[in-house]
Amino acid sequence: MTSDSKTSVQLDFIGSLERTHKLGVLRSTDAGQTVTLMGWVNRRRDHGNLIFLDVRDRTGITQVVFDKEVSPAAHARAEAARPEYVVAATGRVRVRGEGLTNPNMPTGDIEVVATELLLLNESKTPPFPIADADTNVNEEVRLKYRYLDLRRPELQRNFELRHKVTRAIRDYLSDNEFLEIETPLLTRSTPEGARDYLVPSRVHPGHFYALPQSPQIFKQILMIAGFDRYFQVARCFRDEDLRADRQPDFTQIDLELTFPKQETIFRVVEGFLRAAFATANITLPEGNFIQMTYDQAIRKYGIDKPDMRLPAMVDLSAEVTPELRESLKIDPTLPILGFTIPSVGELSGTARKALLAEVRTSFGETGLDLLDVARLRTAQAFAPLAEAITTALTNELAAFTNNPQITTNNSADLHIVVTPKPGTPSMWNYDPQWIYKRVGQLRLDLAKKYADKHKLFEQTKTAADFKFLWVTDFPMYEWSEEHKRWDAAHHPFTSPHEDDITSGRLTSDKGAVRALAYDIVLNGTELGSGSIRIHRQDVQAEIFRSLGMSDEEAQARFGFFLNALEYGTPPHGGIALGLDRIVMILAGATSLREVIAFPKTAKAIDLMVDAPTPVSDIQLRDLSLRINTRS
RNA sequence: GGGGACGUAGCUCAGUUGGUUAGAGCGCUGCCCUGUCACGGCAGAGGUCGCGGGUUCGAGCCCCGUCGUCCCCGCCA
């Protein structure tokens, strides 16, 4: 503490001194060279007449020795050095003697015997240690002192990885005839979708720019303009509540191309992901990523972004005979779903009952219930049912377990079976889709709860950690309870399947219309989302109408775009992937904040620069704004 | 908007049933130490227990409110 007020350290000017090597590079083959190293003091070990300084930069750490007998002056300077001081050391590289090497450091075979030390800058005692790799510091402190947090090797690695991934993607797309084209950040509000960040116009009082939620319309216009293939590492802005994997401003790999099939786009994305992962020394298997429809995803996983690191759900309807259904009074139109959480270990009877009770409580008044398979087995009448269910679940697990990461061990696996309670769907006011989703959620909750046991979420830094898939044929429309209308599930420029247009379903059966829209999913996280776009003005107008938008309204909102569509728009489509999420998963991080240099808190505050802030009355007056604080 | 967890020394945390002067490890400061690499030894400094109010003879601990951080739901075309 008192060091903070200490001003006695005499600092040195750098003069004409030049750095000869970075701190991760010297090896025994460099022995004998005279070198000048510059960096931060990682640690100081003071043995009196012998002092060791570990000097650190982004590339690594090198041990510098100060021997009073070799250079009393340098030794005296080293006595004053403290952690995070910036130093320049000159000396000779020496191979360390027998028993003195450090096998844990790449530079551990050598050390530099210093003849001179310059203290280029001092440092206050950092609020948290930079040198400790396993530091577990409150994020509030880390974000306030982000410049120190970023100095930690762990984060430096994350940002090196991010750079490499970004570069690999840029190179791959460039090599495949994509042009990187920038689009404006000051643009116009598009009323659908997330809330916009708005920027008031000084020149046009009462008018606002919006920061783009994505470059969607611009990239489509670039296709109309004939650029053929476009991409951009694009900043995007959405004013919605945050999560561990959601920041208000974030980066997308945005791309669009003309005359594509869905598969054209899939192959491009698979190509650049393979290249990106290769830079992290992860070789993704050859061949296309697996693919399933939205409908299949919901039925097998209860979610549109399945985590393929876990076994799927199984519809056990076939195992429950009609007579049994009758006697259990379970509605025949509703699914009975089971799934397995592998390798949770044997649960005692008490533990099993407690778990089931907890789950039942979480179901609340939803009309779902659990079958206790273990108990069913003990009742003679139901033993065959228990057997059939267990067999079905075990078969699914066996299929899944082609994955060498786990082994099947029946008694250690947790089987969960969810049934609708006796009664009709109308009684409980749900549809089958809702059941799939609820059980899918339970599957994820329990998998998280037992993550330490099954270890399926653990990173081994091999390709087996990363389970990609494409989800296709999303619904075109989504019923909005809030607005009592059909909204575009993806965005209103998405093309429906052509036969859904010709069949008239756009008006007659909106819920059944499938879009040429697709997501790419990695380990249960949505990495990206795209679609084949509408390229005909008449179809676009019809879609707007089907969304309840009058021609006048469509003109007012998207007139410029509808006009552009009338000048020879080629068929086109594309996708955008969250770069931050790709890097996060690749880095083994669980929060975007670990891979964004200057992230915001859950309340969208930047704790380092302290943003947002109020602005002066003069600024407000220039913008013709008045603050009306809500009470 | 809703639910949950957390907030005590610079950092990570402990703090019993409400009871005297609030502790530990790391870090920091001073001294000693020529082979350490999480160096070691001795001594020392460091606290508005997030903030405000209440209950009580007495509050880090109980109650109410508030602020902040994290996680989840809603929301995120």
pLDDT digits (tens, 9 = 90+) for A426-437: 566 667 888 899
Query: Is the pLDDT reported for residue A192 higher than 80?
Result: no
> Picking from A289-298, A334-343, A369-378, A441-450, which range would have the lowest pLDDT averaged per residue?
A369-378
For residues A436 and A299, is the Cβ–Cβ distance under 8 A?
yes
Q: Please tell me which residue lies nearest to nucleotide B72, judged from CA to C1'.
A: A243
Q: What CATH number was assigned to the domain covering residues A155-292+469-473+516-535+570-617?
A: 3.30.930.10
Is the Cβ atom of A135 within 7 Å of strand B at any atom?
Answer: yes
Query: Is the pLDDT reported for residue A404 higher than 60?
Result: no
Backbone angles phi, psi at A349, to 5 degrees: -55, -40
| ipTM for the whole complex | 0.94
Which pLDDT value is given to residue A397?
87
For residues A543 and A551, is the Cβ–Cβ distance under 8 A?
no
Distance of CA A606 to the CA centre of its chain: 20
SS3 assignment, position A163: helix
Q: Mean pLDDT throughout A66-80?
A: 96
CATH topology of domain A28-121: OB fold (Dihydrolipoamide Acetyltransferase, E2P) (2.40.50)
Query: Is the pLDDT reported for residue A425 higher than 60?
Result: no
Hey, where are the domains in chain A?
28-121, 155-292+469-473+516-535+570-617, 310-456
Q: Which residues of chain A between 10 and 69 are close to nucleic strand B, CB under 7 A?
A: 43, 45-50, 52, 54, 63, 65, 67-69
**Class of residue A502 by CB neighbours under 10 A (exposed 0-12, middle 13-18, buried 19+):** exposed
Query: Is the pLDDT reported for residue A464 higher than 50?
Result: yes
What value, to the nearest 5°, has the Cα angle with vertex A23 and ends A22 and A28? 105
Query: Is the pLDDT reported for residue A608 higher than 90?
Result: yes
Q: Mean pLDDT throughout A452-467?
A: 88
Q: How far is CA A365 from CA A329, A331, A354, A431, A497, in A?
A: 18, 17, 19, 15, 38
Q: At A406, is the pLDDT very low, low, confident or very high (cuts 50, 70, 90)?
A: very low
**What secondary structure, in 3-state letters, does A335-376 show?**
CCEEEEECCCCCCCHHHHHHHHHHHHHHHCCCCEEEECHHHH
Q: Which residues, at least 6 apart from A201, have a Cβ–Cβ distance to it below 8 Å?
A: A207, A208, A209, A623
Query: Is the pLDDT reported for residue A298 higher than 90?
Result: yes
Q: At A407, is the pLDDT very low, low, confident or very high (cuts 50, 70, 90)?
A: very low
Nearest nucleotide to A131 (CA to C1') is B38
Is the Cβ atom of A219 within 7 Å of strand B at any atom?
Answer: no
Query: Is the pLDDT reported for residue A79 higher than 60?
Result: yes
Q: At A208, is the pLDDT very low, low, confident or very high (cuts 50, 70, 90)?
A: very high
Q: Which residues of chain A between 277 and 306 are close to nucleic strand B, CB under 7 A?
A: none
Question: Which residue type does A335 have?
Answer: P
Which pLDDT value is given to residue A428?
63
Residue that is written with structure tokens 């879609």 in the block: A543
Nearest nucleotide to A103 (CA to C1') is B37
SS3 assignment, position A395: helix
- Bond from prior residue into A612 cis (ω within 30 degrees of 0): yes
Does the predicted model carry a pTM greater than 0.90?
A: yes
**Nucleotides on strand B lying under 7 Å from protein C-beta:** 1, 10-13, 26-30, 32-40, 45-46, 68-77
Nearest nucleotide to A8 (CA to C1') is B29
